[in-house]
Amino acid sequence: MWAKKHLLYTEATRHPFILSIRDGSVDLSSFKRWLGQDYVFVREFVPFVASVLIKASKKSDDGNDMEVILGGLASLNDEIAWFKSEASKWDVPLSNTVVHKANQNYSRFLENLMLPEVDYAVAITAFWAIEAVYQESFAHCLEDDSKTPSELQDTCQRWGNEGFGEYCRSLQKIANRCLEKASSDVLTKAEVTFLRVLEHEVEFWNMSHGCA
Ligand SMILES: Cc1ncc(CN)c(N)n1
């Protein structure tokens, strides 16, 4: 299980699409496809994060969780505004987007995680994993030896910046605290959910890269 997790985590955070941004060979039509589809994703992601906030308000034994998750919602508000301005810069229409199968599947997965019977520990683990994949992926494109094109620096900064990294570490701490106290049944569900997130992230990159 650990080896599978490790392999999938690397696949999700070092995907050929991300590596193509990092080495400057990215196909701009792939980038534009990602932009349009990710805007749709983020709009679906907001209600999921709101559902995690509701679970935190009912189930968390630490008052600080709410502030961290609220911070996440605030950053998604900025993310939506950023997508709108970036889409107009790249001439990507955001209305009437044909939602790709990988995006639809991811959205269905999030909807299932929003159900009240899903444990807080499972939902917060998914939330952390979703944000962490973007953080690690885009931070990789900002490293000193990267050749990320200047017009994509802003995109990489959006998720690769240190502040976003700090926020992901706060989510990870909450998830770890919840998992330490979880039953073995919840622990298994959290592990399976974590792997599903990684699979969906890989599928999402595949779709953007044009290999799906
Ligand atoms: C598919 C996906 N995963 C994660 C993120 C980061 N919020 C995102 N914008 N899109």
Fold that domain 2-10+28-90+97-209 belongs to in CATH: Heme Oxygenase; Chain A (1.20.910)
DSSP label of 179: H
Question: What ranges do the domains of the chain cover?
Answer: 2-10+28-90+97-209
Task: Say whether 183 sits in a helix, a strand or coil.
Answer: coil
Question: Which residue ranges are tagged as binding site for substrate?
Answer: 38, 79, 131
Residue 210: which pLDDT band, with cuts at 50, 70 and 90?
confident
Q: For the chain, first and last CA: distance in Å?
A: 26
> Do the Cβ atoms of 44 and 110 come closer than 8 Å?
yes
| CA 122 to each of CA 94, 119, 125, 128, 190: distance values in angstroms, whole numbers, following the listed order | 32, 5, 5, 10, 5
ipTM surpasses 0.95: yes
Catalytic, 111? Answer no
Alpha carbon 139 to its chain's center: 13
Taking only the tens place, the pLDDT of each residue in 133-186 is 999 999 999 999 999 999 999 999 999 999 999 999 999 999 999 999 999 999
pLDDT of residue 78: 95
- Mark 184-209 as b/e (b = at least 16 C-beta within 10 Å): eebbebbbebbbbbbbbbbbbbbbbb
Taking only the tens place, the pLDDT of each residue in 59-90 is 877 779 999 999 999 999 999 999 999 999 99
Q: Which atom of ligand 1 is nearest to the CA of 201?
A: 1
Query: Considering 111, 136, 180, 201, which one is annotated as catalytic?
Result: 201
Sign of the CA dihedral running 117, 74, 105, 195: negative
- pTM, two decimals, is 0.96
Ligand 1 pocket test, candidate residues 48, 100, 134, most atoms within 8 A of CB:
134
pLDDT of residue 211: 66
Q: Which atom of ligand 1 is nearest to the CA of 45?
A: 7
Phi and psi for 93 in degrees, rounded to 5? -70, 135
Residue 206 CA to residue 179 CA, distance in Å, equals 30
